[in-house]
Amino acid sequence: MVNLRKLVLLTAALAITANVFAVESLEDVMKRRGLTEKNVLAAAKTYVPTGGRDEYIAFSSGGQSGHVLVYGIPSMRILKYIAVFTPEPWQGYGFDDESKAVLAEGKIQGKDINYGDTHHPALSETDGKYDGKFLFINDKANPRIAVIDLHDFETKQIVVNPVFKSSHGGAFVTENTEYIIEAAQYPAPFENEYVPLEKFNERYRGGMTYWKFDRKIGRIDASKSFTVMAPPYSQDLSDFGKGPSSGWSFTNSFCSERYVGGIMQNKPPFEAGCSAKDTDFLHVVNWKKAAELVAAGKATKINGHNVITIETAVKEGIIFLIPEPKSPHGVDVSPDGKYLIVSGKLDSHASVFSFAKIQAAIQSGSFEGKDNYGIPIIKMQDALHLQVQVGLGPLHTQYDSKKCVVYTSIYVDSQVTKWDYCEGKVLDKISIHYNIGHLMTMQGDSVEPEGKYLVALNKLAIDRFNPVGPLHPQNHQLIDISGDKMELLYDMPLPLGEPHYAVAINAKTLKPGVRYRSGWNSRTDKKSKFKTRAGREKIVRTPGKVEVFGTTIRSHITPEIIEVTEGDEVELHFTNLERAEDETHGFAMYGQNVNLSLEPGKTVSTTFIADKAGVYPYYCTEFCSALHLEMEGYLLVKPKDYNDDTKKSSVGATYTKADYEKQVKENIATQAIIDQVVGIILGQNYKDFPPVVALVEDAVDQLGFAKEAKAKADAAAAKEDWQNATLWAGQWWQYQVKAADIGLRAKTYLEQHGAVKLDKK
Ligand code: K7E
Ligand code: CUA
């Protein structure tokens, strides 16, 4: 009693002392930290209170990491790295058999490629609006496109471009995501063979691949995809038309000089030869008609893939060129589909092309001539709406919600220029740190841009952050564009590859799941054939092979002991039986390169050869409950000729009747607390709160397990087997503790979300 009173007094005293120091005012903090009023305003605009949510979700390329980064806007808090082209252990990506199969789709001519240079993420669209269903991203180094399902933010498919040897102008989607475009970058022969550089003009080719997306199954259909071949001009960024320009695509190029360098051969480098001319070519392609040509059998098969040759494309009138200044980079179609804005890296202008004017030139057949491959060239002046002096080295353009307002990244000047593309006038400029590449406005490449924020994706960070060695983090700068003047709000370091482009979607459009259907193969989106239900765990032995059908649930792995013989092939399949939100278990094993992630409901597998006799502990890698450390087991690999003559001896401690009775007493007391919490929850309108309904389900599950364990304890006690009776009573208590923990979480949730007491009838 005395002790308790002492404690109360001490706590009260502490609270008083703490209060004395806790009266720091906003002004005090500003002074102490050297913050200006502008800083505090910026902080208030970006701060998301604890437990709060962001208004937008950004998907950024992860550059050389081969991943996609997901972060919230305006808080700039990183939410996830989606593993795409590169293994990522936490997600088990590239470690479980299911995801290894996805990475294996990305092999290039039989070779494993375990990284990607991701550049441009694209969100799926319906009628030109983001629908929040899928995300696509390209790999520039190894021309590939990946499909990510936004139901679970997982990579489902990788397709390899069958004819290109690099690509850049992808991924961009049509208004209804019928096709995903991927344009070539460095010209190369379409065939997988050696062709000397002397044959560059004749045999090296570029082009645009149109990947057919099958929305029903959520996968690209390679058999219905095709490529429109183009001259070796180093095609660059692309975009699809929409509205009036629907059915057309636009692709830049930057080395229409077709220059081939060779510093060691005493030739000036590529950079000199590829920037010699004042203009390159914008490729204008009627992809709808191209698709019809493919359907009509007019494509040629190269490496088993449909290719429309330059000759066919010219003959059928589906490809045109327009000169564009100078070493251009970005091409961005306006939300209404009437204009496209192109910027030249070595120019100070942005050029606005009019789709109506392009069409008029094509209809009238008035061209300034043909290129060496017979493709008609539309006169630049005939297609131009206007040009605006935006700054030195303009790259990419994004659209605002305000009509005619756009933002262009200015690489050399390190600025963003806000301008009006209808009238052709500059509205505002802001300095960036440093050398901006892409930029992104909220939903800025959909038909419904929402403005509000702009993110500058900068190439250099230099002195913006605490130094961490010669390799600096990347810097995304958040800018408020809601007013007339742009205002810099925040610098966010990104420590994972150079992000090129990013897209941001209104968070309300995304509806990701929180669990899988029980026994789910998330990579094929089908029920796994290895799904294992509670109580049906088994180990199947055939000569030379051991297959384990196991489960995980707080806090044990079934089986806990796996015995195999040296040289056996071991296949482990685990199903996470949890239904509770965020109850992921991991599975790591000593010395076998085994690391799995089991989200609720998921089934994953791993296969390896137990080629060395020994003891291999395994355990759960997610701190999933108080007894997480006890979520463990052993793989025992016996030597081939092992003669098991050890006497079975008891392992560990022994228990008595008194131990059993003590445990049962504690269990009964615990049950009283659980009943009390259950009474409180059931007495409220908990059914109005879906998260609480899920928690109650989970708690009921746990109490069901407790009942099973109790029955086993009772049975053992009836046989006076105090050893097992005590251990099963302990397990019964473990389930009770989990149920109590869940119950308390539900009770707290109800308290914090304004649940009310139900009237007693
Ligand atoms: Cu870096 Cu779009 Cu690949 Cu421009 S790209 S910056
Ligand atoms: Cu499951 Cu820790």
Q: Cis before residue 434, ω within 30 degrees of 0? A: yes
Report the alpha-carbon distance of residue 85 to residue 114 in Å, rounded: 6
Average pLDDT, the chain: 94
Q: Count CA atoms closer than 13 A to 292's CA, side-chain side.
A: 8
- Smallest-distance ligand from the CA of 618: 2
CATH class for the domain made up of 56-389+495-509:
mainly beta
- pLDDT of 10 higher than 50: no
For ligand 1, which residues put their CB under 6 angstroms from it?
Answer: 119-120, 168, 237, 329, 395-396, 437-438, 500-501
- Smallest-distance ligand from the CA of 410: 1
State the average pLDDT over residues 690-709.
Answer: 89
H helix or E strand, kind and range, residue 364: helix 355-364
H helix or E strand, kind and range, residue 607: strand 603-609
Q: Are 211 and 168 in contact (CB under 8 A)?
A: no
Residues 185-197 pLDDT 10s = 999 999 999 999 9
Lowest mean pLDDT among 274-288, 491-505, 732-746: 732-746
- How would you class 393 by CB atoms within 10 Å of its CB: exposed for 0-12, middle for 13-18, buried for 19 or more? buried
What pLDDT is recorded for position 2? 40
- pLDDT of 8 higher than 70: no
Identify the residue whose C-alpha is closest to ligand 1 atom 6: 437
- pLDDT of 3 higher than 80: no
pTM score of the predicted model: 0.91
- pLDDT of 646 higher than 70: no
H helix or E strand, kind and range, residue 438: strand 436-442
As a whole-number percent, the residues of the chain with pLDDT over 70 amount to: 96
What pLDDT is recorded for position 215? 96
Q: Please name which of 537, 535, 554 lies closest in space to residue 702, comparing C-alpha atoms.
A: 554
Report the alpha-carbon distance of residue 436 to residue 457 in Å, rounded: 6
Q: Please name which of 342, 126, 337, 357 lies closest in space to residue 245, comparing C-alpha atoms.
A: 337
> Which atom of ligand 2 approaches the CA of 619 most closely?
2
| 644 DSSP assignment | -
- Smallest-distance ligand from the CA of 557: 2
Tell how far the Cα of 500 is from the centroid of ligand 1, in angstroms. 5
Residues 6+ apart with CB under 8 A from 451: 400, 401, 402, 441, 442, 481, 482
Reduce the DSSP state of residue 742 to 3 states and report it: helix
Report the alpha-carbon distance of residue 300 to residue 228 in Å, rounded: 10
Q: What is the dihedral of CA 13, 19, 21, 27, to 10 degrees?
A: -170
What pLDDT is recorded for position 7? 43
Residues 77-104 pLDDT 10s = 999 999 999 999 999 999 999 999 999 9
Q: Tell me the sheet residues that pair with 377.
A: 321, 369
pLDDT band at 652 (very low <50, low <70, confident <90, very high): confident
3-state secondary structure 666-706: HHHHHHHHHHHHHHHHHCECHHHCHHHHHHHHHHHHHHHHH
What pLDDT is recorded for position 488? 98
What pLDDT is recorded for position 650? 59
- Smallest-distance ligand from the CA of 552: 2
Q: Are 319 and 285 in contact (CB under 8 A)?
A: yes
State the average pLDDT over residues 562-570.
Answer: 97
Q: Tell me the sheet residues that pair with 394.
A: 410
- Give every strand in the sheet of 425-431, ordered side by side: 394-399, 405-410, 415-420, 425-431
Pairing mode, if any, of strands 545-553 and 538-542?
antiparallel
- Single-letter amino acid, residue 520: W
Q: Are 272 and 323 in contact (CB under 8 A)?
A: no
Q: How wide is the angle at C-alpha 508 spanned by C-alphas 506 and 512, nearest 5°?
A: 110
> Which atom of ligand 2 approaches the CA of 622 most closely?
2
The finding on whether 631 has its CB within 6 A of some atom of ligand 2 is: yes
Q: What is the dihedral of CA 48, 52, 58, 61, to 10 degrees?
A: 90
Report the alpha-carbon distance of residue 399 to residue 406 in Å, rounded: 5
State the average pLDDT over residues 35-44.
Answer: 97
Q: Report in angstroms the alpha-carbon separations of 397 from 189, 225, 317, 333, 411.
A: 32, 29, 29, 9, 12
- How would you class 508 by CB atoms within 10 Å of its CB: exposed for 0-12, middle for 13-18, buried for 19 or more? exposed
H helix or E strand, kind and range, residue 67: strand 67-73
- How would you class 465 by CB atoms within 10 Å of its CB: exposed for 0-12, middle for 13-18, buried for 19 or more? middle
Output the six-digit token pair for 320: 């045109």
Tell how far the Cα of 438 is from the centroid of ligand 1, in angstroms. 6
- pLDDT of 19 higher than 90: no
Identify the residue whose C-alpha is closest to ligand 1 atom 1: 500
Q: Report in angstroms the alpha-carbon separations of 3 from 8, 9, 17, 223, 387.
A: 9, 10, 21, 78, 82
Report the alpha-carbon distance of residue 499 to residue 494 in Å, rounded: 9
pLDDT band at 23 (very low <50, low <70, confident <90, very high): confident
The finding on whether 556 has its CB within 6 A of some atom of ligand 2 is: no
> Which atom of ligand 2 approaches the CA of 585 most closely?
1
Identify the residue whose C-alpha is closest to ligand 2 atom 1: 585
Report the alpha-carbon distance of residue 732 to residue 578 in Å, rounded: 18
Tell how far the Cα of 589 is from the centroid of ligand 2, in angstroms. 13
- pLDDT of 59 higher than 70: yes
Report the alpha-carbon distance of residue 116 to residue 154 in Å, rounded: 16
The finding on whether 632 has its CB within 6 A of some atom of ligand 2 is: no
Lowest mean pLDDT among 103-112, 366-375, 435-444, 636-645: 636-645
Report the alpha-carbon distance of residue 268 to residue 259 in Å, rounded: 10
Residues 207-264 pLDDT 10s = 999 999 999 999 999 999 999 999 999 999 999 999 999 999 999 999 999 999 999 9
Report the alpha-carbon distance of residue 361 to residue 384 in Å, rounded: 11
Output the six-digit token pair for 36: 């200006």
E strand residue ranges, 264-404: 279-286, 300-302, 305-308, 319-325, 328-333, 339-344, 349-354, 369-370, 376-377, 384-389, 394-399
Tell how far the Cα of 627 is from the centroid of ligand 2, in angstroms. 8
- Give every strand in the sheet of 561-565, ordered side by side: 561-565, 632-638, 614-619, 585-589, 594-598
Pairing mode, if any, of strands 451-458 and 603-609?
unpaired
- Single-letter amino acid, residue 471: L
Residues 299-348 pLDDT 10s = 999 999 999 999 999 999 999 999 999 889 989 999 999 999 999 888 89
- Smallest-distance ligand from the CA of 254: 1
- pLDDT of 647 higher than 70: no
Report the alpha-carbon distance of residue 383 to residue 245 in Å, rounded: 14
Q: Are 380 and 360 in contact (CB under 8 A)?
A: no
The finding on whether 500 has its CB within 6 A of some atom of ligand 2 is: no
Reduce the DSSP state of residue 193 to 3 states and report it: coil
**pLDDT: is 5 or 575 the higher one?**
575
The finding on whether 298 has its CB within 6 A of some atom of ligand 2 is: no
H helix or E strand, kind and range, residue 200: helix 200-203
- How would you class 358 by CB atoms within 10 Å of its CB: exposed for 0-12, middle for 13-18, buried for 19 or more? buried
Q: Terminus-to-terminus CA distance in the chain, angstroms?
A: 42
Tell how far the Cα of 725 is from the centroid of ligand 1, in angstroms. 66
Backbone angles phi, psi at 268, to 5 degrees: -60, 150
How long, in residues, is the chain? 761
Q: Report in angstroms the alpha-carbon separations of 602 from 242, 518, 551.
A: 39, 7, 10
State the average pLDDT over residues 492-502.
Answer: 95
Report the alpha-carbon distance of residue 416 to residue 428 in Å, rounded: 8
3-state secondary structure 105-162: HCCECCECCCCCCEEEEEEEEECCEEEEEEEEEEECCCCEEEEEECCCCEEEEEEECC
Output the six-digit token pair for 415: 């600025």
Pairing mode, if any, of strands 248-253 and 415-420?
unpaired
Q: Report in angstroms the alpha-carbon separations of 512 from 134, 149, 517, 519.
A: 11, 9, 13, 18
The contacts found for 684-688 with CB under 8 angstroms, 24 or more apart, are 684/750, 684/755, 684/756, 684/757, 684/758, 685/755, 685/756, 685/758, 686/746, 686/750, 686/755, 688/755
- How would you class 291 by CB atoms within 10 Å of its CB: exposed for 0-12, middle for 13-18, buried for 19 or more? buried
Q: What is the CATH number of domain 520-638?
A: 2.60.40.420
> Which atom of ligand 1 approaches the CA of 438 most closely?
6
What pLDDT is recorded for position 344? 87
Output the six-digit token pair for 310: 């330059």
